[in-house]
Amino acid sequence: MFLILFKLFSIFPLFLLKAIASLFAQFLIIFSLSPYRITKKNINYCGFKNKKLARNSINMTAETFLEYPYIWGNPRNYHKLLEHNEELHQISQSDKPSLIFTLHMGCVDVMLFHSSYNLPNLNIIYTPAKNKNFEDTVRKIRQSMAAKLHTANVSGMKELYKNYLNGENVIVACDLVPHHKGTYSKLFNKPCFSIDLIEKLSKKDTHNLHFVYLTHGNNKKYKFNLETINRPISTDEMNNFFEKAITEAPDLYGWEYKKFRKLQGEVKNIY
């Protein structure tokens, strides 16, 4: 059933998806539903002064929501959303494997499909969906791009770590709040509980370290950006890279996520 729905979405023209997303965003705004309220809260908390940013961001969130089934129904559709880029293909020619970190800006699966297409033996950590049929369908689609998927639990992390030590490529979206272990850092000078996996893995110096993220493109929706980092980094430095990317295209960031929770002190979250 889900695959049929995805296939249907995949044949929609992009202008129609954008129109539907605009209506969906207006619905979220008019009724002040949770994604819009959290978006406003996070944006204000991080000190952004643009009063239109919350509306622009929730509109991008709605578009992203529809882009997932659009590319799940036909993974090659990601080419229609992403400007041509050969940087990942170039780094795949290196003698050393790659450790890549990213964040939730735009449709993450556009990023992951592009990375899987260009990098062999790419390992991805992810949180599975609660609906088993949905999860099985999406997992199979993601693996069709030759990626190796690992769930964000103890067994999944062990498998990811084993493949990392075996010299395989790894990409991780690290801007979410850890399920269990992590470290306290700051984002836009606000305390946040952060994933410290990149700090730990980069210290081993077995992989080339890269930061990748999406911004607005000139001819298509997204532009792919890659920065090579020639040293291990701390979690604080990782969050600094996130700040730079978010500042470049703040409306593309997933502000609807409850980032500032599991905090230290009496106030455990800002929501």
Residues 6+ apart with CB under 8 A from 247: none
Listed residue (129, 1, 146) closest to 75, CA to CA: 146
Q: Which helix (H) or strand (E) holds 188?
A: none
- pLDDT tens, 220-230? 999 999 999 99
Residue 89 resides in a domain? yes
What are the backbone angles phi and psi of residue 133, rounded to the nearest 5°? -65, -45
Residue 141 resides in a domain? yes
Q: Provide the pLDDT for residue 92.
A: 86
Residue 176 resides in a domain? yes
Residue 165 resides in a domain? yes
Tokens of 202: 């980069």
Listed residue (250, 258, 243) closest to 50, CA to CA: 250
What are the backbone angles phi and psi of residue 171, rounded to the nearest 5°? -130, 135
Please count the structural domains in the chain. Answer: 1
Residue 18 resides in a domain? no
Q: Provide the pLDDT for residue 102.
A: 98
Angle 133-67-241 from CA coordinates, rounded to 5° = 105
3-class SS of residue 12: coil
- The structure's pTM equals 0.96
- pLDDT tens, 18-73? 999 999 999 999 999 999 999 999 999 999 999 999 999 999 999 999 999 999 99
Whole-number Cα distances in Å, 11 to 14, 54, 69, 142: 9, 30, 10, 19
What are residue 102's DSSP bridge partners?
173
Residue 266 resides in a domain? no
What are residue 227's DSSP bridge partners?
211
Q: Which domain holds residue 113?
A: 77-252
- pLDDT tens, 80-134? 999 998 898 888 889 999 999 999 999 999 999 999 999 999 999 999 999 999 9
- pLDDT tens, 158-204? 999 999 999 999 999 999 999 888 999 999 999 999 999 999 999 99
Residue 62 resides in a domain? no
Residues 6+ apart with CB under 8 A from 43: 53, 54, 57, 250, 255
Residue 37 resides in a domain? no
Exposure string (b/e) for 238-265, b if CB count within 10 Å is 16 or more?
Answer: bbebbeebbeebbbbbbbbbebbeebee
Whether the CB-CB separation of 90 and 231 falls below 8 Å is answered with no
